[in-house]
Amino acid sequence: MKPKVVITHWVHPEIITNLSQYCSVVANPTRETLPREEILKLAQDAEALMVFMPDRIDDAFLKACPKLKIIAGALKGYDNFDVDACTRQGVWFTIVPSLLAVPTAELTIGLIIGLARQMLPGDRLIRQGTFAGWQPHLYGMGLANRTLGIVGMGSLGQALAQRLSSFEIDILQK
């Protein structure tokens, strides 16, 4: 019999297909966060649990799921997960420290460009039907030869600085 794995949030189908070769997978098919009670019901006889940012694991949860051997966090931080309780119960707890650095850096650059080039005001004019052709009030500014400060050069700060280097931006780091 394959070990049971519960995935608390929606994942891409290929993840389920890959895991299904080795495990009996019970996955949340929705894009919604399952209530804790429902996750507990699904996980009470599971050996593994894949958790995400909205989930919370504590001593009571672990006691209700005595077969758990590993909790795989598809996340970077773990503030809402009692790692000490996992250790006491003999449950491995894992995270992916660099999981969101690159996507967050890319989103940050998108926001910087959107603000610098006044993309939202321009979009608003077009959607409202009031865009009457070129006018000088949406000039904005480019990123080349500008200076940007990054406070904290952890994995996110480094990913951001690396991607911004192609824009010829002077990076100040603290």
173 has pLDDT over 90: no
Q: What band does 36 get if pLDDT is binned at 50, 70 and 90?
A: very high
| Res 76: pLDDT | 81
95 has pLDDT over 80: yes
Tally of structural domains, the chain: 2
Count the helix, strand and coil residues of the chain and give each as a percent rounded to the nearest 5. Answer: 40, 15, 45
Query: Is there a single domain that holds both residue 137 and residue 62?
Result: no
**Of residues 106, 108, 55, 105, the one with CA closest to residue 77:** 55
Please list the residues that pair with 91 across neighbouring strands: none
Q: Are 116 and 142 in contact (CB under 8 A)?
A: yes
Contacts of 170 (CB under 8 A, 6+ apart): 145, 146, 147, 148
136 has pLDDT over 90: no
- d(Cα 72, Cα 48) in Å, to the nearest integer? 8
The model's pLDDT over 139-163, given as tens digits with 9 standing for 90+, comes to 888 899 999 999 989 889 999 999 9
The model's pLDDT over 112-128, given as tens digits with 9 standing for 90+, comes to 999 999 999 989 989 99
Query: Is there a single domain that holds both residue 79 and residue 124?
Result: no
Query: Is there a single domain that holds both residue 127 and residue 70?
Result: no
What residue numbers bound the domain in which 136 lies? 101-173
Q: What is the pTM for the complete model shown?
A: 0.73
| Res 134: pLDDT | 79
Q: What is the CATH number of the domain that holds 27?
A: 3.40.50.720
Query: Is there a single domain that holds both residue 18 and residue 85?
Result: yes
Q: Which of 64, 94, 124 finishes a domain? A: 94
Token pair of 34 as six digits: 């399952």
Kindly tell me the burial class for residue 122, based on how many C-beta atoms sit within 10 Å of its own C-beta (0-12, 13-18, 19 or more): middle
Contacts of 65 (CB under 8 A, 6+ apart): 40, 43, 44, 45, 46, 49
